[in-house]
Amino acid sequence: MPIEEMLVKVKGNLKIEDDSMDLLITDVIQECLNYCNLTEPPVELEPFIRRKVKTIMDYEAETGGKRYLT
């Protein structure tokens, strides 16, 4: 599945209608591809990517979008 299709699938499942999270979702997809040494994401990877994106979105909503380095 091409990266663009995965992006659309994740956005659809998270009910994201605008492009505000495209960069975040694409970054998570790319990190997964790099870690797994893949060129295209398999459809089976969608739930993992969706959960990672949702976790980041929840964290940013809770902290007001601030990221702290420790």
| Predicted confidence (pLDDT) at residue 8 exceeds the cutoff of 60 | yes
Q: C-alpha angle with apex 48: 41 to 38, nearest 5 degrees?
A: 25
pLDDT tens-digit map of 53-68: 999 999 988 887 666 5
Question: Angle 3-13/22-36 helices, nearest 10 degrees?
Answer: 120
pTM for the predicted model, two decimal places = 0.85
- The token pair at 24 is 């975040």
**46 and 9 in contact (C-beta within 8 Å)?**
yes
**Cα torsion for 58, 52, 10, 33, to the nearest 10°?**
150
pLDDT tens-digit map of 18-59: 999 999 999 999 999 999 999 999 999 999 999 999 999 999
